[in-house]
Amino acid sequence: MTGQDRHNPTATATVTATATVNAAATVAGPGLVEPRGELSRAVTRALRSGTAPDFRPGAVLRADPWGEDLQLALYLLYELHYAGFDGVDDEREWDPDLLRLRQAMEARFLHALRTDLADGPRSVEDAFAPLLVEPVDLSDSLSHHLETDGELWQLREYAALRSLYHLKEADPHAWVIPRLTGRAKAAMVAIEYDEFGAGRADRIHAGLFAALMADLGLDPGYGRYLDLAPAPLLATVNLMSVFGLHRALRGALVGHFACVEVTSSPGSRRLARAMRRCGAGQAAERFYTEHVEADAVHEQVVRHEVIGGLLASEPDLEADVAFGCAATVLLEDRLATHIRRAWTRGDSALRGPLPVP
């Protein structure tokens, strides 16, 4: 079965940005999803029953750190610090048994990252220099593919995948603010102010992405596509959460944030063109055009003021900043490879088909 057979939207939803923001901003969290192995089963059962997670000794050490089971289990536990889950007591956020399991899985995840990046950059210059130059060969670029050859069903899949981050856009980075001082804190708050709409609810970036989803005939509900998201996508979101929730990893979170801002503008320009070419709708195009100019400015601020200010006060964090950047590139490359391989085969990059709008 080809992608065209499976994904053939017949109409594009027309919803105002304000209405979409309201639809996405539900009071209750999303529902729990089906587990994908022993660890995610232990977490979902614990959250549903209010009991401690039950799993075999050594299950975490046996788990694939990049696999569906561990990445989903981590995502579920991290989500307790965001919107939570419908029917799950908010008190479980700080449940000591769940935190012990999370700590063990985090250690497995971070060890895998550090092992893969054992020969990675140790300085900010080495980490960011390759990102500041547009590659001559864009054949491996996912945004370039979508700009030039992407089909509407692929844009829909891409948006469904990215919704797990963009509907909480800037939230995990906000955790670093109380851990910064002086120039770094002032600059970080200035960028986050833009990300959260500069005081206007209808311009919050998460809301703009919800409007993009509506234009593509997708459900803009928070966490709606978690069940369809594969491990390579979950890992990219889990990376922000593990960095954000640990003060000891504040340098890595700054490196991650800077990497996102540095690479955002060129990719957003290509994705805006892709949305326009495929007739995705004004709201779909607007989300990316909004990021082209804003993130070009943010790039300068985050490199010179956030990173510069942080390292002026804590120079020993430079290797952590470089690690955060390199880890981001690693996981984004893994995700892009997963998506491109699936699309090259004519398959979905999701774990199941998207509902037809």
Q: Quick: pLDDT tens for 221-272.
A: 999 999 999 999 999 999 999 999 999 999 999 999 999 999 988 899 999 9
In 91-204, alpha helices (H): 96-116, 124-128, 142-148, 152-166, 171-174, 182-195
Which pLDDT value is given to residue 4? 40
Which pLDDT value is given to residue 7? 44
Residue 323 sits at the vertex; the CA angle it makes with 129 and 142, to the nearest 5 degrees, is 60
Nearest to 79 by CA among 182, 201, 171: 171
Q: Would you mind telling me the total number of residues written for the chain in this entry?
A: 357
Residue 181 in this model has a pLDDT that exceeds 60: yes
pLDDT range class, residue 27, cuts 50, 70, 90? low
Which pLDDT value is given to residue 243? 98
CA distance 11 to 341: 28
Which pLDDT value is given to residue 13? 38
Residue 24 in this model has a pLDDT that exceeds 70: no
pLDDT tens digits along 44-53: 999 999 999 9
pLDDT tens digits along 67-122: 999 999 999 999 999 999 999 999 999 999 999 999 999 999 999 999 999 999 99
CA distance 288 to 301: 20
Report whether 32 contacts 85 (CB < 8 A): yes
CA distance 326 to 57: 32
pLDDT range class, residue 274, cuts 50, 70, 90? very high
Residue 133 sits at the vertex; the CA angle it makes with 129 and 135, to the nearest 5 degrees, is 125
Residue 18 in this model has a pLDDT that exceeds 50: no
Mean pLDDT over the full length of the chain: 91
pLDDT tens digits along 116-168: 999 999 999 999 999 988 776 777 789 999 999 999 999 999 999 999 999 99
Nearest to 233 by CA among 113, 105, 349: 349
**CA 152 remoteness from chain centre:** 21
Domain ranges of the chain: 26-116, 124-344
Can you read off the two tokens belonging to residue 277? 């070419």
Q: Sort residue 63 into left (φ over 0), alpha (ψ -120 to 50) or beta.
A: beta
The stretch 338-343 carries a mean pLDDT of: 96
pLDDT tens digits along 307-335: 999 999 999 999 999 999 999 999 999 99
Percent of the chain with pLDDT over 70: 91
The stretch 188-212 carries a mean pLDDT of: 95
Residue 17 in this model has a pLDDT that exceeds 60: no
Report the C-alpha dihedral over residues 317, 322, 325, 329, rounded to 10 degrees: -150
pLDDT range class, residue 19, cuts 50, 70, 90? very low
Residue 8 in this model has a pLDDT that exceeds 70: no
Which pLDDT value is given to residue 133? 85
The stretch 37-57 carries a mean pLDDT of: 97
Residue 11 in this model has a pLDDT that exceeds 60: no
Pick the CATH number of 124-344 from 1.20.910.10, 2.40.50.140, 3.90.226.10, 1.10.630.10: 1.20.910.10
Which pLDDT value is given to residue 296? 74
Nearest to 321 by CA among 123, 117, 112, 120: 123
